[in-house]
Structure 1
Amino acid sequence: MTKAAVRAHTNIALIKYWGKADETLFLPMNSSLSLTLDGLYTDTFVEISDTFTEDQFYLNDVLQSPEETAKISRFLDLFRNKAGITDFVQVKSVNHVPTAAGLASSASAFAALAGAMNHATGLNMDLETLSTYARRGSGSATRSLFGGFVEWQKGTSSEDSMAVPVDDASWDIGMVIIAVNKSAKKISSRVGMKQTVETSPFYPAWVASAEEDLLAIKDAIKARDFEKVGQITEHSAMKMHGSMLGAETPIIYFEPDSIKAIHAVRA
Structure 2
Amino acid sequence: MFANLALRSVLKSSGCIFRESSASALCSSLCTAPRTRSAAAPLLSGPSGKSGCFTSQPPVRHYARATKKRTAAPPSQLSDLAPTMLKLDYAAVPLAQTTDDLVKRLLTLELASHKEKLQLKREQLISQVQRNENDRKSEEVRVAILTTRIRNYQEHMHQHPKDKTNKRRMLMAIDKRKKILKQLRLVRYDAFEKVCKQLGITYTFPPEYYRRVTHRWLAKKAFCLKVYQEVQKRKKEERLKMKQSQVTTKNTKA
Same fold (TM over 0.5): no
Question: Which structure is richer in relative contact order (CA contacts within 8 A, separation 6 or more)?
Answer: 1
Q: Max radius of gyration: which structure?
A: 2
Q: Which has the higher strand share?
A: 1
TM-score, structure 1 as length reference: 0.24
TM-score, structure 2 as length reference: 0.24
